[in-house]
Structure 1
Amino acid sequence: MLKRLLPLVLSGACAALHAAPAPTESRLQSLAAEPFWLSLGHYERSRLGGWRSYVDDARFFLSPQGAHDPAAELAATLRALYRDPALGDRHPQCVYPARTRWLKERLALDDLPKVQCPEFTRWWQDIAPHSAVLVFPAAYLNSPSSMFGHTLLRVDQADVDRQGTVLLSYALNFGAHIEGMDNSILYAWKGVMGGYPGLFALMPYNDKLSEYSRLENRDLWEYRLNLTPEETGRMIEHVWELKQIRFDYFFFDENCSYRLLELLEIARPGLELTDQFPFTAIPTDTVRAVEQAGLIEAIDYRPSKEKELLTRARSLDRREQDWVERLAGDPAALDDRAFQARPAERRALMQDAAFRLTRYRQSGKERDEDGARTSFRLLQAINRNPPPRLAVERPARPEQGHRSHTWQLGLGSRDHRTFAEYGLRMAYHDLLDNLHGFPIGAQIEILQLKLRQYEGNHWQLQQLDLANIRSLTPRSGLLKPWSWQVGGGLERVLGKHGEAQLVGRVGGGAGFTWQLDDELYGFALATLRLEQNQDFAAFISPAGGFDAGLLWRNRLGNLSLETTTDYFANGEVRRRFDLSQHWELADNLGLRLSARREFSHLAGPVNDLMLQLRWYQY
C-alpha cells in the first residue's frame, strides 16, 4: 500500500514545487495590455470593441478565449510554463520561447522547471541569427502575386560579410499557401478576398534569390537593418512560435509586408509600424516606413538577369546583336571566319551577351543537354577572351517614388459645360504619374473613383475602376516581350442624343511596344471588350478594336498621345483620341492637363478638357 502511495506523494510534491505563481489580477491585466505581449499575440483593437488576433489558427492559443482575450492567453501561458518537463519538445517553454523569455523577465520566474528542447536548439543553431536585412524584389507585372513587389527578411549569421557567406543565410518569407493550379484570375480574386492561408517559411536565401532574379527577372534591393543580435534573436524566437501557424492572407493589407512589420515590432518594441497601414500595406510604402523609423543602415542593389543582359547589349549595334542571337542558338558560330575577323574586344562583348541570353532563355526551365553544351562552349570562349566588367546603372530606389494613394481635383469643360472632378485612387501608379522610382510603361490602378459636379450642382459618377493594369515593355534586338493590358469597372461613354451613359465593361489587349528614341516609346495593341450598355439591345455586347499611341518622357514629366477604337458586333463604332501632359511639381504632387475627343455612331463628336491636381498620399 505504501509503495502505491509513495509515487502519488512524490508527484504531489513535484507539482507543488512547480506550481505557477499567482500574480494579482491587476498585475495580469497590466502585463496583458503591454505592447510587446499584444505584438506576440498579433492583437488589434476590434471595430466593435475588445481585441482580436490576426492569427487564424486555434493551435496558436493556449486559452480557448485566447484569440479575443490577451489576459486569458497570458494567464494560460503562465500556467503552462510549469507543466511537466518530461513533455520535452512539446512543452510550452519549447513551443513558445519568445513568450517564455518575456514572462520570465517581467515576473522574475526563477522557479521555472528546466526543460530540454532539442528540436528548437538544433533549429536555432542552424540559423544562428545575428542580424537582418529587409529584401525588396521589385514589382513584376507579369506575375499576379508580384505586381506591387514583395518584401522578405534575410537572417544573417555573425561575420557573414567578412566571410562572404551571404548565400548561406536564411530567407524569412510570409506568403499565400496555394495548393493546386489556380489560374491568374482566380488567384487574384482569392488573394483579394482572403481565400488563401498565409504561412511563414524559412528557406536558404540562395534559393529565394534564384527565384526572384532568374525565374522572375526582378531587381532586388537589400536594406541592411540596424537590429542588434538580441533584437534579431527575439524576432526569430517568435518565428519559431509561428511555425505552420495559419493567417488569412489578403493582397492589399494582411500581406507579406504587413506581417514582416509585425515581426520588426517584436524585434524592437515601440516602433508602431503597423499603425501606419490601417487600410492597405503596399510593399513600397512599408519599406518607406521602415526607412523613416531609422532602421536602415545600408542599401545594396542586385540587378536582374534581364537588366544585366540589356545593359551588355546596349553597347552592341544591330549587326553585333544578330551575332549574339546566332551564337546563343549555335555556339559553332564562334569558329566562323566572319566572327573571328571582328576585333577581339567586340567579340568579347558579343560572347558575353550570348551567354547571358542563353541563361536568360533557360530561366524557369528544366536543364537540357543542348542548353548546357551551349553555355559551356560560350564560357570557354569568355575565359579565353574576357569582357570588361559589367557595370549596371543603379536606378532610383522604389521607396523614393510617389506614395500609393492618389487624391485628384480637376476643373474642366465638356462641350461648353463646366465641371469639377473629384477622384481617389487606392493604388498605385499610371503611365503618366511621377516616374521617379517606377519603370516606364508600367501601370497598376486598383479601386479608382471619379465623381463630377456639373453646373447647377448636378453630380455624376464618372468612373469606378476595379483594376486597370498595363505592361508596355519595349522590344529590343534580343528580347521581344509582349505588351498587354486588362481592366474592368464602370465608365461614362457617349450615348444616344449626346448623353454620357454609365456602362459596365471588362476588357484587355495584347501587342507590342517599341523604343523609338531615348525617351520616346510607341505601342500598338489589339483589344477585346465586353460592355453592358442600356443603349444596346443585347445585355452584353462584345467589341474588337485596337489601342495605339506614344509615350514621351520629357523635361516636364510624361506626355501621352493615344487613340482607341472599338468595333461592336451590333454595328456601333466608338473612337477616342487622348492627349495628356503631366507635370511633376514634387515627389508627391503633380499637375495634369488632358484633352479628349470622342466619336460615336450614336452621337456627334464631344470634346473634354480638364486641368487636374494630383496629390499622392498614404
Structure 2
Amino acid sequence: MSISHVISVSPLQCKILLMSIQSVSNRILLDDMPIQLSRRARLPLAIVGLLLTAQAQAFLPTPASLVTTGELALNTDTNTDNNAKAGTAAETGAKQLLALWREQAKTKNLAQHTTWRRLLYFSDEKKGFFGKNKDTSTVDDASFFLSANGREDSGAELDAMLVAFADEMTNTTNKPKANNAAQTGNSKSALCRFPARAKWLSDTLAIDKSAMQVTCPELTAWMQKLAPEQLSIMFAQEHLDNPLSAFAHTLLRIDSKASVVDPSQIHHAYALNDTVDGDTEDNFVLYATKSMTGGYSNLIEIDPYPEKLAKYLQDDERDAWTYRLDLMAEEVQQIILHVWETKDLKLPYYFTSDNCASEILRLIDVVRPQQHLLSQLPYAVIPSDVVQLLNKEGFLASTNYTPADSTLRQAQWNKVKQQRDQLGYHNSAKQTLNEIKSAPLNTVSSMSADGQTLLNHQIAVSDTNPLNRHPLQMGHIGIGQRGDKHGDNNYIDLGVRAGYHDTLDRPSGFPQFFDLEGAAATLRLYDTNNDKPSQPKSVILQNLTLIKGRSFNPVNSAKKGKTWGASIEATRVNDGSQQDGTDHLVGSLGYESGWSWAFGTLSTGTGEIAPQLCYTFLSGTAQTGRGINKGFRVGAGVNAGCRYQINNQLRAQAELQLPYWYHGSSDDSNVRGHYWQPISTLGLQYDIDKKQALRINANYEWQDRIDANEDVQLSYRRYF
C-alpha cells in the first residue's frame, strides 16, 4: 500500500471549508436526520458526510498494484479537479464574505462616513458661492477610482473596493503556491494602489487581509525608505524678495526613528512639500495669474529634508519654525499611505486656497474625522493661519526655532558693533563688519558643512514666531476731516483688509519691517448736510488695493537683498494739472527701488536688526482714469521716510513723496502738462492688545491748484 497524495489547506480554504461544513451539516440535519437530533451531533455527522465525498478519497491509501506509470497523468487530473473544486469553494466563500461586508457597510452607512469621503477628496460641505461641490470629488483623474461612477458616488467606490477585497481572496486561493510570490507582487492591485483606503475598510469591517497574501514591493520599498514615525510642520517665514514666497511656506517633516531620537540628525528625515508645478518659462505676470486661477497643477515633492531646509535657511535666508504634530503612530502611517495614493495626482493649484498649507490640513482631517480643520479656512488658506489654527486645536506638541544664515551673521554683527561702540576701534571693526556681512566669506549656518546635521548656536530666539502674530484679516472704522478751499468735509471710513501686515501694525511674529497688504478696500461716507460748491458724493470708493508692499534689506545689516516696493491698486488722487483740481478714482501701478538703513539700540545675543528704519526710494508710477486730465498721468520721483518703534505698543512713521507728473502737452494755458505734487504723510499706531489698535493718519499735499490739501483721520482697527 502507498499514499498517492495529500491535500494542503490554506487559511482561507480552512475558513471556506468550515463554512461549507456548516452548510452541509444544516442540509443533512434538515433533509435526512430526525428533527429531535441535538445540535451537538450536527458537526460530527457533517464531517462524516464530507469524508464520504470525492475530496476525502485523497486521504485514503491506494494499493501499490494500482500505481502505474500512467498514474502521473491521473494524479494531475485529480489535482486539477481538486484545485477547480477548491477554486469554486473559494469563489463561493468570497461571495459570502462580500455579501456580509456589503451588509455591514450598509448598516454602518460607510459610504457617507467622513473618513471615506475625505479619502476620495470629497468636501465636507459646500460653503458660500465659491465653495466646492460636496457631491463631487475634487479629483477628475479616472485612475483614482475603481468605479466608473466613483467621482460622483462614494458608495459605488466603496462597493468596488469591497469587490477588490473579494477578488484578491479568490485570486490568492486559485494561484499555484509556487507562483504566489510572483503573482501577488503586483503593484497594480487595488490593495497596493490604495493602501490607506484598504487599511481603513479592513479595520472598520474587521477584514482579515492575511488571507489575501498580497505583497506590494514598490509600496513596501517606499515606506521603508521614508520609515515614518513622526510628523512635524515646518514654517519658513515670509520672503518678499521672491513674490511667490511672500506669504510664507509650510511643509511636512517626516521623521524616522533615528531623527525622532535626535532631531538634529536631519539626514534621517524627509520633506513632504506641496507646491505649484509651474512653467518657469512663463513671465512673472502670467505665472502669478495661473497660480492664482488654477492654471497650473500641484506638485507633491518628497525629498531629503536637508535639501529643502538648506533652500530656506541658506538660499532664501528665512528663519524656520518647526512644530511637532501631536499624532499617534498609526495616524502617521495612515497619512503617509494616503500620500502614496495621491502623490501623482495632478490637481489644480490655487495660490490662496489649494496650496502647501491646505494640503497639510486635509491630510490631518483624513485621520481625524471628528476634526474639520480645512473647512474652518474655506476661502484663503495662509501658512501662518494654518499654524495658529493647529495650535488652537491642540495639534502642536513642541516648537523649535532654526535661525537663517543671515540671522546668525546679524548676531555676529551685533556683537562686533557693540564692542566697536564700547572700545572705539572703528577702522578695524568696519573691516570685520564687512567680512561678517559677506555670505561667501562668512559661512556660518544652522546646518553642518555636509548639510546633514543641525547645529546648536547660542542665539536668542527672534520675535518671529507666527504663533505670536496678530490675525491677518483686519477691519477698520475711522472718522476724519478733509480740508479744502471751501471749508472742511467730515467723513466716516469703513474698510477691510484680507491680509496681511504693514509697518505700523504690531510687529511680533513677522520678519522685521515686513510690509505687505493684499485685497483691501475702503468706502468713504461724507457728511452732505451742507451746500458747498465742491461737496463730494455721499458714498465713494476711496481705495481698492490688489497688492502693495515693500521689502526692506538695510545696507548696514547682515541681510542680503535689495530695498524695493511695488503696488497695484485703485485709489483716489488729486489732479494737480488744473486749477481747483478735484480727486478722482484711478488705476495705479507703481514700483520703487532704493536703500534703507537700520539704527537704534541693538538687541544683545539676538540676530535681530536695530528697531528703527529710514529709507529712500526712486519711484515710478503710472495712473489712468476718466476723471484726470487726458485720462492718464505718469510720474517719477523720490520717496523718503522713517519708521520709529517708540515702545512695544507704539510706532510712528513719516514720509515725504516728491513725484513729478506728466499728462502730455496741452493748448489750454490753464492746464499744466507737467508739475511737482509733493505729499507728506504721518502715521501713528497704538496697540490696545493683539487684536485691537488705534491709528492716526494725516497727509498734506503741497499743491496750490488742487481743491483739497489736507486729510486727518482717527481709526479703530480690529484684527480677526
* Counterpart position of 1:408: 476
- The match for 1:141 is 240
Maintained 8 Å contact 2:236/2:248 = yes
Return the match for 1:593 from 696, 700, 710.
696
Give, in whole Å, the separation in 1 of the partners of 2:705 and 2:154.
Answer: 63
Distance 1:418 1:239, change over 3 A: same
8 Å CA contact 1:133, 1:223 repeated in 2: yes
Aligned mates of 1:402, 1:574 — CA distance in 2: 36
> Which whole-Å CA distance do the structure 2 matches of 1:73 and 1:267 have between them?
19
Instruction: Compute the displacement of 1:154 (Å).
Output: 0.9
The structure 2 residue matched to 1:237, chosen from 337, 351, 354, is 337
Equivalent residue for 2:197, pick from 99, 103, 112 = 99
CA shift, 1:289, in A, is 0.7
Decide which structure has greater strand share. 1
Which of these residues, 492, 513, 517, is aligned with residue 600 of structure 2? 517
> What runs of 5+ residues in structure 2 fail to find an aligned partner?
1-75, 173-182, 421-425, 451-455, 529-536, 602-610, 664-673
* Partner Cα separation in structure 2 for residue 93 and residue 125 of structure 1: 18
Indicate whether 1:118 and 2:226 are aligned. Answer: no
State the match for 2:466 in structure 1: 398
CA shift digits 1:7-62 (9 cap, x unpaired): 98876665445447132498178212211112212211345965232334332222
Distance 1:31 1:158 in 2: 34
Q: How far apart are 1:462 and its partner, in Å? A: 0.4
Q: Which moved more, 1:74-83 or 1:575-584?
A: 74-83
Asked if 1:552 is matched to 2:644, the reply is yes
> Which residue in 2 is equivalent to 1:308?
408
Distance 1:235 1:134 in 2: 14
Q: How does 1:242-257 map to 2 (within 5 A)?
A: 242-257=342-357
Percent identity, aligned pairs only, is 27
SS at match of 1:315: helix
| Residue 492 of structure 2: aligned partner | 420
Give the corresponding residue for 2:252.
Answer: 153
Aligned equivalents of 2:265, 2:134: Cα separation in 1: 47
- Give 2:661's aligned residue: 568
2 CA distance for matches of 1:25 and 1:71? 13
Unmatched runs of 5 consecutive residues or more in structure 1 = 329-352, 364-374, 377-387
User: Post-superposition shift, 1:537?
Assistant: 5.0
Whether the 8 Å contact between 2:557 and 2:598 is mirrored in structure 1 is: no
How many Å apart are 1:360 and its aligned residue? 5.6
Q: Distance in 2 between matches of 1:220 and 1:360?
A: 18
Query: Normalising by structure 1, what TM-score?
Result: 0.85
Give the C-alpha shift of residue 158 in structure 1: 2.1
Choose the corresponding residue for 1:430, options 502, 511, 528: 502
SS in 2 for 1:217: coil
Counterpart for residue 52 of structure 1: 136
Q: Give the match for residue 447 of structure 1.
A: 519
Mark the CA change 1:516 to 1:91 in structure 2 (over 3 Å): closer, same or farther: same
Residue 98 of structure 2 aligns with which residue? 21
- Aligned partner (choices 354, 358, 373) of residue 441 of structure 2: 358
Partner of 1:62, secondary structure, is: coil
Conserved? CA contact 1:492–1:503, under 8 Å: yes
Distance 1:193 1:278, change over 3 A: same
SS in 1 for 2:98: coil
Amino acid at match of 2:495: G
Are the structure 2 counterparts of residues 262 and 18 from structure 1 closer, same or farther at C-alpha, using a change threshold of 3 Å? same
Map of 1:289 onto structure 2: 389
What secondary structure, in the 3-state scheme, does the structure 1 residue paired with 2:136 have? strand
Alpha-carbon contact 2:298-2:349 (below 8 Å) kept: yes
Structure 2: distance between partners of 1:480 and 1:296: 32
Report if the CA contact (8 A) 1:574-1:601 is conserved.
Answer: no
Structure 2 Cα separation of the partners of residues 454 and 354 of structure 1: 52
Distance 1:176 1:468, change over 3 A: same
Which range moves more in the overlay, 186-195 or 25-34?
Answer: 25-34
Q: Which residue of 2 aligns with 1:491?
A: 571
User: CA shift at 1:566, angstroms?
Assistant: 2.0
Equivalent-residue separation in structure 2 for 1:262 and 1:211 (angstroms): 25
Name the counterpart of 1:332: none
1:153-552 maps to which residues of 2 (within 5 A)?
A: 153-163=252-262, 165-316=265-416, 317=420, 318-324=426-432, 353=436, 357-358=440-441, 390-415=458-483, 416-456=488-528, 458-476=538-556, 479=559, 481-495=561-575, 497-518=580-601, 519-536=611-628, 538-552=630-644
| Cα separation, 1, equivalents of 2:440 and 2:704 | 49
Does structure 1 residue 130 correspond to structure 2 residue 229? yes
Q: Distance in 2 between matches of 1:478 and 1:225?
A: 33
SS at match of 1:79: helix
User: Secondary structure of 2:497's partner?
Assistant: strand
Contact 1:465 1:490 in 2 (8 A): yes
1:293 shift after superposition: 1.1
Partner SS state of residue 257, structure 2: coil
Please identify, of 213-222 and 241-250, the stretch whose mean Cα deviation from structure 2 is larger: 241-250
Q: Separation in 2 of the partners of 1:269 and 1:488?
A: 42
Cα distance in 2 for residues equivalent to 1:109 and 1:26: 12
The CA RMSD over aligned residues, in Å, is: 2.9
How far does the alpha carbon of each residue in 1:452-473 deviate from its partner, in whole angstroms, 9 at most, with x for none? 1111381100000110021122
Kept in 2, the 8 Å contact 1:144–1:184? The answer is: no
Preserved CA contact (<8 Å) 1:235 1:266: yes
The aligned counterpart of 1:40 is 119
Sort the Cα spacing of 1:463 and 1:354 in 2 relative to 1 into closer, same or farther, 3 A: closer
1:84-130, CA deviations, whole angstroms, 9 ceiling, x for partnerless residues?
A: 46461110101111100111122222376321111111111121111
Kindly indicate whether the alpha-carbon contact (under 8 Å) linking 2:585 and 2:627 is maintained by their aligned counterparts in 1: no
Contact between 2:122 and 2:134, CA under 8 Å: does it hold in 1? no
Residue by residue, what CA displacement relative to the aligned partner does 1:525-579 show, whole Å, maximum 9, x if unpaired? Answer: 0111111032445454322112111101112422110111221233143322110
1:90 counterpart residue number = 188
User: How far 1:390 moved relative to its partner?
Assistant: 4.4
In structure 2, do the counterparts of structure 1 residues 588 and 320 end up closer, same or farther at CA, with 3 Å as the change threshold?
farther
Distance 1:49 1:193 in 2: 18
Q: Structure 1 residues 362 and 572, CA, compared in 2 at 3 Å: closer, same or farther?
A: farther
Q: CA deviation at 1:182?
A: 3.0
Q: Tell which deviates more after alignment, 556-565 or 461-470.
A: 556-565
Q: Is the 8 A contact 2:622 2:635 kept in 1?
A: yes
Preserved CA contact (<8 Å) 1:573 1:601: no
Deviations 1:481-518 (A, max 9, x none): 32111111210011353422001111111001111323
Aligned pairs, how many?
568
SS of match in other structure, 2:678 = strand
TM-score, normalization by structure 2: 0.74
- Structure 2 letter corresponding to 1:21: L
Deviation of 1:308 after TM superposition, in Å, equals 0.4
Maintained 8 Å contact 1:572/1:602: no
Distance 1:445 1:128 in 2: 41
- Bigger CA drift: 550-559 or 295-304? 550-559
